[in-house]
Structure 1
Amino acid sequence: MVATSLAVRERSRATTTRRRALGQRLQRPGAWFVLPAALLLAVFFTYPLASSLWQSFFATSGGVSTWVGLEQYARLFEDPLIGKSLANAGILLVIQVPLMIGLAVGLAYLLNQSWLRFRSGFRLLTFLPAVTTLVAYAVVFRVMLATDGGAVNQLLALAGVAPIDWLNDEWWARVALIAAITWRWTGYNMVIILAGLQSIPAELYEAARIDGAGRWQVFTRVVIPQLRPVLIFTTVTSTIGALQLFDENWILTEGGPNDATLTPVLYLYKVGFRQFDFGYASAIAWLLVVLTAIIAVIQFRLMREKP
């Protein structure tokens, strides 16, 4: 009896060993499939990231790089344009991002209603700006907002309003930039939020109506809480996009007038590729990485569901 039990255990161990060996052999081809992606990630992401961090500790003069330690980061606290660019990015975060997310939520909720006719067509029209190239739509906005002969000023003239110098006045340049970004990205966020709306169980709506909840109560007590993960995602990605803004303000105003639309990435570009101060540009990049991470963490903590 004991011998039989020992034999069974030995066979079980042998079977387990064979299965582990087979599993290891099956995993080897998977590693080869992953290898190209890992190499691309290392070459085009990991290495440039590490290289930019290393470069931020050097200063280049006359083609010779010299180790300066943390001097490039110390310059950040003395550079007024850094503060101006961060303030401009803050304006976008405080005004443009909430405006865009609010419009996206409203449009998604409207386009999710069963009584609305031609919903697919309206969804397509709302999403179309998201498929236009950044450069193309920014050029179109620049033409439309031209002070002399621009389509927007011509429409204002028909209403008896004097022409507005959209791109050469500090206040109106910010308004134009916010309008352009909102037009481009609202539809993109709307589609994501719409997908979140369609995943909310119908039973929750029915239960809320049975309890006597009106449309506004259903929206605030059912829809918004259920959309919390989607809203966190869209808010964080929109925040990152605002901090990394480059194409629109470069084409519309090149950061002007008087640096009113200068953003950190645009300033980084000017420092790195116009002044060829790559060490300081790398320091700006890493400052932006740290700020983006801090803001994203804060947003996650503020918007996460409380126990």
Structure 2
Amino acid sequence: MDENDELARAFEEKRPRLHAVAQRMLGSTDEAEDAVQEAWIRLHRSDAEAVENLDGWLTTVVGRVCLDLLRARSRREEFFEEHTEASAPVPTEENADPEQEAMLADSVGLALSVILDTLEPDERLAFVLHDMFAVPFADIAQVIGRSPGATRQLASRARRRVHGASPMHDLRRQHEVVDAFLTAARSGEFDRLLTLLAPNVTMHADDTAVRIGAAPMTHGARGVAGVFSGGAEAARVALIDSSVGAVWKAKKRVVVAFDFTIRDGVITAIDLVGDPERLRELDIVVLGD
């Protein structure tokens, strides 16, 4: 086995961890793969024999690549916010943010991704590398160009924001309820649907959803369960304004959003939103596409 083959084998052994680091940093599978591939290119071009700690070296490189991408993304978002009018198009697979498209369907990962999006790039890198992958602050400091003390403060600030943000448990529970509801609906489990609905649940449909075929108002668990039982084949779990709901898509475009209100583990209300203007106002991320 020549040196190149040995280097490639060593890199492939590190790839899963590097991809996990990049995935947590970027929230995008495609971008994470690009970051890992860039690390391989840099390793291949470097004097690999001079690298004493290959794992640390690669983690540092991936961290720097991710930080550059996060900073560039932050600049794009600032420009977008300054120049985008309220009549922006409805997010679809063609124009949705790559990070949103790749958000983890896993409920804990989903919740964490939502919270990490609120952090500044340097905060996010310091928190992810230290708290999730046990990278020393001294090594992280080299990536972001700050002192170890300042890096520690960044991670501490990010940690406070993560633990003080919308609780991950809430999103996880919402995801479980909505996923169970859609599964029961598709399989026609009427009794199971009843256990997931509050007795006095209401379902309201806007004018557009009514024209598509929904009833304007449905009252009670049995009524709502009757509507969904044996249906919802095309419905997909989605994040709607940072809460878990569902959508019905046609030709890769969201046609109706199912905005669930969930309290104490049961669905208390469902709003069917089909109006295009209203859909434009919603931040919708379809999960598992």
Which TM-score applies when normalising by structure 2? Answer: 0.24
Which TM-score applies when normalising by structure 1? Answer: 0.23
Determine which structure has greater relative contact order: mean sequence separation of CA pairs < 8 Å that are 6+ residues apart, divided by chain length: 1
